[in-house]
């Protein structure tokens, strides 16, 4: 087996989740990620844990949205509730043979399912969890790379190609802690860039250090804006890739914290359907500041793209209680603004980041 896959499994088990003996750990994802499933299974057994593997066929979700009945989108089963209740932690692996498999799925069904699964998600989020990605040909095509080059990109971004990967993640955490100390006590954020001038308050909110214990790869500091304070407009530079669709040219206008105008050059109807999912979906749930300068290109995968060093991202929808956020929504949808070419992030009137570099 590729040593980088073994290293990634070890990072996830020993660092991201810090798995202890006799814990029950679920590993879920699609069949394309079988090598990582096997490596995680071995690492979890070595840690004395009870691995629970949930590996679905690649076309299972497509079949679900095509053949599912109303009950499948509106009801949570007793089995699902019990399984989530008794898990100690979980690993979710993104892998795909076709990243556009859900492009024809009914967005209303997708929104219903997201709302229905929210109670289960809330339980999971209170426990240790981590998301990662296994490189596939489909992801490589989205990134305009060969599979070989994409594998190198993924394992470099996760530090799985390092001799001491956990040491590298701890070093990143220390660098980000310095940024958080500079942000302590911040009250107002302003984002300025082409077709963008947006302000909001973060008064009383906490910035969180994300260094590989939730997302793998990681490299960001994030918080949740004060819910009713966003004013202005923003145009996002990259398409949002969500549930098999690309939504391009997104432009949002905020008044008193709420999105009052929303448009997109591609898949606008889907954008509006998601924003109308519930009242909280039209408010900001997150400001994230990307710090991983090992990720410098957009690959149409939010797990990597939101960490691009020199970018920021804003999520509409659900906020983070650990950051002080109070917004509730079944949606949490990250959208990226690249500040590397003529953009700036101001904190309390002072430049904090300009042209993608911290000041």
Check residue 87 and give its pLDDT: 96
108-111-113-114 Cα dihedral, nearest 10 degrees: 170
Check residue 149 and give its pLDDT: 96
Check residue 241 and give its pLDDT: 84
Tens of pLDDT, residue by residue over 110-149, are 989 999 999 999 999 899 999 999 999 999 999 999 999 9
Q: Provide the pLDDT confidence category of residue 279 given band limits of 50, 70 and 90.
A: very high
Identify the helix (H) or strand (E) that includes residue 129: strand 129-133
Check residue 240 and give its pLDDT: 87
Residues 307/219, Cβ–Cβ less than 8 Å: yes
Q: Provide the pLDDT confidence category of residue 91 given band limits of 50, 70 and 90.
A: very high
How much of the chain, in percent, has pLDDT values that exceed 90? 89
The rounded mean pLDDT for the chain is 94
Q: What's the predicted TM-score (pTM) here?
A: 0.87
Query: Which alpha helices (DSSP H) does the chain contain, by range?
Result: 3-10, 34-46, 60-67, 70-74, 78-86, 107-125, 137-142, 147-157, 165-183, 268-275, 302-305
Give the DSSP letter string of 170-236.
Answer: HHHHHHHHHHHHHHTT--EEEEEETTEEEEEE-TT---EEESSSSEES--EEEE---TT--EEEEE-
Q: How many CB atoms lie within 10 A of CB 170?
A: 13
Q: Provide the pLDDT confidence category of residue 103 given band limits of 50, 70 and 90.
A: confident
68-71-72-73 Cα dihedral, nearest 10 degrees: 100
**Strand 245-247 relative to strand 240-242: parallel, antiparallel, unpaired?**
antiparallel
Give the DSSP letter string of 65-99.
Answer: HHH--HHHHH---HHHHHHHHH-SEEEEEE--S-T
d(CA 287, CA 314): 5
Check residue 14 and give its pLDDT: 96
Sequence-separated (6 or more) residues with CB below 8 Å from residue 353: 289, 310, 312, 339, 344, 345, 359
d(CA 41, CA 227): 42
- Give, as one character, the DSSP assignment of residue 347: E
Q: Which phi and psi (to 5°) does residue 201 adopt?
A: -95, 145
Check residue 194 and give its pLDDT: 93
Check residue 293 and give its pLDDT: 87
* Segment among 101-110, 239-248, 276-285 with least mean pLDDT: 239-248
d(CA 198, CA 252): 10
Check residue 332 and give its pLDDT: 93
d(CA 168, CA 164): 7
Sequence-separated (6 or more) residues with CB below 8 Å from residue 316: 252, 259, 275, 281, 282, 283, 284, 285, 329, 331, 332, 333, 335
Q: Provide the pLDDT confidence category of residue 286 given band limits of 50, 70 and 90.
A: very high
In this predicted structure, the answer to whether residue 64 has a pLDDT above a threshold of 80 is: yes
Check residue 69 and give its pLDDT: 96
Q: Provide the pLDDT confidence category of residue 160 given band limits of 50, 70 and 90.
A: very high
Task: Return the CATH class of domain 3-163.
Answer: alpha beta
Check residue 88 and give its pLDDT: 97
22: its two tokens: 């006799």
In this predicted structure, the answer to whether residue 101 has a pLDDT above a threshold of 90 is: no
Check residue 184 and give its pLDDT: 94
Tens of pLDDT, residue by residue over 178-207, are 999 999 999 999 999 999 999 999 999 999
* Segment among 35-44, 89-98, 103-112 with least mean pLDDT: 103-112
Q: What's the mean pLDDT in 313-340?
A: 95
**Structural domain boundaries in the chain:** 3-163, 185-358
In this predicted structure, the answer to whether residue 244 has a pLDDT above a threshold of 80 is: no
């Amino acid at each position: 087996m590729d040593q980088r896959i073994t290293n990634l499994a070890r990072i996830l088990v020993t660092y991201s989740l810090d798995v202890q003996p006799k814990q029950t750990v679920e590993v879920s994802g699609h069949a394309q990620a079988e090598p990582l499933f096997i490596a995680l299974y071995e690492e979890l057994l070595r840690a004395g844990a009870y691995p629970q593997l949930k590996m679905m066929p690649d076309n299972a979700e497509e079949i679900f949205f095509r053949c599912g009945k109303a009950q499948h989108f509106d009801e949570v089963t007793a089995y699902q509730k019990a399984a989530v209740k008794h898990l100690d932690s979980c690993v979710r692996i993104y892998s795909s043979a076709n990243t556009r498999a859900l492009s024809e799925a009914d967005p209303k069904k997708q929104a219903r399912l997201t709302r229905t699964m929210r109670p289960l998600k809330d339980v999971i989020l209170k426990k240790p969890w981590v998301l990662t990605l296994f490189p596939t040909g489909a992801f490589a095509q989205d990134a305009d790379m060969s599979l070989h080059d994409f594998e190198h990109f993924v394992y470099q971004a996760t530090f799985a190609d390092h001799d001491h990967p956990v040491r590298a993640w701890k070093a990143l955490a220390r660098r980000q802690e310095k940024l958080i100390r500079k942000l302590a006590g911040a009250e107002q954020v302003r984002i300025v860039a082409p077709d963008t001038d947006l302000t909001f308050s973060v008064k009383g909110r906490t910035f969180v250090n994300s260094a590989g214990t939730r997302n793998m790869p990681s490299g960001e500091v994030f918080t949740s804006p004060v819910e009713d304070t966003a004013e202005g407009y923003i145009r996002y530079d990259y398409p949002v890739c969500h549930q098999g669709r690309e939504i391009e040219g997104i432009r949002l206008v905020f008044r008193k914290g709420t999105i009052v105008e929303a448009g997109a050059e591609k898949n606008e109807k889907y954008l509006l359907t998601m924003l109308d999912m519930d009242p909280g979906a039209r408010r900001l749930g997150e400001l994230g500041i990307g710090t991983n300068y090992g990720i410098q290109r957009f690959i149409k995968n939010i797990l990597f793209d939101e960490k691009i060093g020199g970018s920021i991202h804003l999520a509409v929808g659900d906020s983070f209680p650990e950051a002080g956020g109070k917004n509730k929504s079944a949606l949490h949808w990250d959208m990226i603004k690249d500040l590397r070419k003529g953009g700036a992030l101001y904190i309390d009137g002072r430049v904090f980041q300009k042209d993608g570099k911290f000041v």
